[in-house]
């Protein structure tokens, strides 16, 4: 059977370490009172990130939350995490029920910013690599749309952070006619923008440009996220390059399944896999699988981290996050990541 494997020399080797377990232990949530009102304040989020998520809050988070309010979204308690992927820190919910959140990687370099994501049943969709990048994008889009109704609300809400990131009128002054082109050139790379460009090429029947755009998207710009590889596989499949599409899809499934941007089985279909990989992961999280990895000389903390990653994969298949919370927390505790274990268990 083909191994699910993930190279430990990848971009973020410690983040997605895979392995095996049936970790068993119990924890109590941290004794920090986070208000659970539907209109949570930015200070609640800063406190939560520092004391529960045990990491550095984004410098301009307060201004992003102000902007989300100005957009008509409801700022929600960071502890309102029941039923969500346990790595998410909720920020706001829009009128259609879509949740914007920060993503707390299990391990990451200290200088790495928390990405802004949209929470979905089967995982997350990357909105921006950082809070600042998301603020920048929102302001550019507001400026480009030239909405008179907004009356500058978003710019006012962004305050000093917005002034540092973007000067109102820069989009028009740039003489770049296409908003997506401006975003890619002046703000940063965004999955939805890159996928839109791929789709535009396909709609024009320009298969070569579509494949080039898909390959660029999958060229390491979003470390840790499987979505770019999924898109590349989909492009290859649509233009009839089925063998290459199959290989690309199998490569995508080496990434955390909750980062695919779609259901696992959509990618597995292109990879021409049925449930082999799911069964493989189930074997890895058995006691036998754990012991096998230990016999191979893998360090116990590494094995525990790997198993936490495998459990997240399995939960993403059906979105059954609540079923694996305690097991994942036990894995992080076994790996020595006690702060991460407490964070995983915390709910309002």
> What pLDDT, in 10s, does the model give residues 304-333?
999 999 999 999 999 999 999 999 999 999
Reply yes or no on whether the pLDDT at 18 is more than 50.
no
Count of structural domains, the chain: 1
The pLDDT of residue 108 is: 78
Handedness of CA 139, 140, 145, 151 (dihedral sign): positive
In a domain, 12, yes or no: no
> Average pLDDT, stretch 201-218?
97
Which domain, by its residues, includes 314? 278-345
**pLDDT band (50, 70, 90) for residue 112:** confident
Count of beta carbons in the 10 Å neighbourhood of residue 344:
28
In a domain, 285, yes or no: yes
In a domain, 312, yes or no: yes
In a domain, 272, yes or no: no
In a domain, 145, yes or no: no
Reply yes or no on whether the pLDDT at 263 is more than 90.
yes
**How many whole angstroms separate alpha carbon 84 and alpha carbon 51?**
20
Q: What percent of the chain has pLDDT over 70?
A: 87
Q: What is the mean pLDDT of the chain?
A: 88
The pLDDT of residue 107 is: 82
Helix or strand (DSSP H, E) at 324: none
Counting Cα atoms < 13 Å in the Cβ hemisphere of 96 gives: 5
> Token pair 């896999």 is at which residue?
273
The pLDDT of residue 111 is: 79
In a domain, 34, yes or no: no
In a domain, 218, yes or no: no
Residues contacting 244, CB < 8 A, separation 6+: 236
The pLDDT of residue 42 is: 76
> Average pLDDT, stretch 72-101?
96
The pLDDT of residue 147 is: 57
Give the predicted TM-score (pTM) of the model.
Answer: 0.87
Q: What percent of the chain has pLDDT over 90?
A: 82
Reply yes or no on whether the pLDDT at 267 is more than 50.
yes
In a domain, 332, yes or no: yes
> Average pLDDT, stretch 242-254?
97
**How many whole angstroms separate alpha carbon 246 and alpha carbon 260?**
15
- Where helices occur in the chain by DSSP H, the ranges are 42-51, 61-70, 131-145, 153-165, 170-174, 179-182, 191-203, 207-217, 227-238, 242-252, 264-271, 276-284, 287-295, 300-318, 325-334, 338-345
Task: Determine which of 3-7, 117-121, 243-247, 279-283 has the lowest per-residue pLDDT on average.
Answer: 3-7
Reply yes or no on whether the pLDDT at 149 is more than 70.
no
Task: Determine which of 17-31, 167-181, 193-207 has the lowest per-residue pLDDT on average.
Answer: 17-31
**pLDDT band (50, 70, 90) for residue 40:** low
Count of beta carbons in the 10 Å neighbourhood of residue 338:
13
């Amino acid at each position: 059977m083909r191994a699910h494997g993930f190279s430990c020399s990848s971009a973020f080797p410690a983040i997605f370490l895979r392995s095996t377990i049936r970790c068993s232990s119990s924890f109590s949530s941290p004794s920090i009172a986070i208000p659970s009102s539907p209109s949570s304040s930015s200070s609640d989020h800063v406190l939560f990130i520092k004391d529960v998520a045990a990491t550095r809050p984004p410098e301009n988070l307060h201004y992003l939350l102000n902007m989300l309010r100005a957009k008509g979204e409801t700022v929600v308690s960071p502890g309102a995490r029941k039923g969500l992927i346990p790595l998410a820190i909720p920020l706001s919910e829009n009128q259609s029920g879509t949740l914007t959140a920060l993503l707390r990687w299990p391990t990451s370099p200290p200088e790495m910013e928390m990405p802004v994501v949209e929470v979905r049943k089967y995982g997350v969709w990357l909105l921006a690599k950082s809070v600042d990048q998301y603020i920048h994008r929102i302001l550019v889009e507001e400026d480009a749309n030239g909405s008179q109704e907004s009356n500058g609300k978003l710019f006012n809400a962004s305050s000093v952070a917005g002034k540092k990131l973007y000067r109102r009128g820069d989009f028009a002054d740039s003489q770049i006619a296409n908003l997506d082109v401006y975003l890619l050139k002046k703000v940063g790379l965004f999955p939805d923008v890159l996928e839109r460009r791929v789709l535009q090429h396909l709609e024009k029947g320009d298969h070569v440009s579509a494949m080039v755009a898909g390959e660029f998207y999958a060229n390491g710009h979003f470390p840790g996220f499987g979505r770019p590889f999924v898109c590349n596989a989909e492009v290859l499949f649509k233009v009839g390059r089925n063998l290459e599409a199959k290989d690309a899809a199998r490569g995508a499934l080496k990434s955390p399944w909750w980062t695919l941007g779609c259901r696992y089985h959509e990618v597995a279909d292109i990879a021409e896999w049925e449930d082999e990989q799911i069964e493989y992961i189930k074997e890895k999280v058995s006691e036998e699988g754990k012991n096998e990895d230990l016999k191979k000389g893998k360090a116990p903390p590494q094995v525990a981290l790997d198993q936490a990653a495998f459990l997240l994969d399995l939960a993403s298949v059906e979105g059954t996050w609540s079923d694996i919370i305690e097991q994942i927390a036990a894995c992080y505790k076994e790996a020595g990541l006690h702060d991460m274990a407490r964070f995983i268990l915390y709910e309002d």
